[in-house]
Structure 1
């Protein structure tokens, strides 16, 4: 069995009026909406990967809210099993600079919009598990 491992984060910010917004991207390849994530590089931890990938894809830096993480495991169309480790983070910066080579759209979305735009139900479950207690 072939397996890939990636890591990413559900990153949020609070607006001046107290509204919570979440960072989503739309991938150029496939067109699906998800949270920023990417492959673990050699000798890199899942935590380091999550920070690096969020920054590479969106230009957003964040602090981890806790060491709690959730793993999303699924079978990709090419027959490879994939484990994606997700963390919850609070944005340090909010100005998005998307990675044009991989990301079609990157933006801040309300909780309702997250549920509307996320392509895969397993991402919605991870969102509820990690961000469900973030106050709006």
Structure 2
């Protein structure tokens, strides 16, 4: 925990295939152990949030994606000590051949919306997202430079 201190920033990918199936994973650890959840993980110090979600999806499932945009934020406080924040991105897969990371996951698959909505193994976040009538996107702007005084090596906006 020392590396993240008491403010955590994570990303998750809502990856929807051409035929409408959603990419989900079953983790081997943590609060979502054994539950269907979105591929997710923490942002590393050398990446933007959109780069982080592509990396996490690839690491967990072997799926390369195009990030379509930011669709939501999940924010909570754990035991009044840790600010736990997650950015949710809508992504389109380049293929659907799942090869999951067996050391971290029990399973990963593209599953129909109906099956996810009816599964007792789906996480609260999946149940919520699958019931939304549509997903609103904040799209990525082209990379920018807000001025050399800040020394950004990457700078993006989502609007």
Check whether the contact 1:72–1:126 (CA below 8 A) recurs between aligned residues: no
- In the alignment, the residues of structure 2 paired with residue 113 and residue 124 of structure 1 have an alpha-carbon distance, to the nearest angstrom, of 11
Q: Between Structure 1 and Structure 2, whose CA radius of gyration is higher?
A: 2
More helix by percentage: 1
Shift of 1:81: 2.6
Check whether the contact 2:26–2:107 (CA below 8 A) recurs between aligned residues: yes
More strand by percentage: 1
Shift of 1:114: 2.0
* Equivalenced residues, count: 127
Range with greater deviation from structure 2 (43-52 or 109-118): 109-118
Give structure 2 stretches of 5+ with no counterpart: 136-159
Give structure 1 stretches of 5+ with no counterpart: none
Runs of 4+ in 1 over 3 A off after TM superposition: 75-79, 126-129
- In the alignment, the residues of structure 2 paired with residue 32 and residue 101 of structure 1 have an alpha-carbon distance, to the nearest angstrom, of 16
TM-score normalized by structure 1? 0.81
Shift of 1:69: 2.7
Check whether the contact 1:58–1:98 (CA below 8 A) recurs between aligned residues: yes
Q: Which residue of structure 2 aligns with residue 45 of structure 1?
A: 48
Q: Which has the higher contact order (CA 8 A, sep 6+)?
A: 1
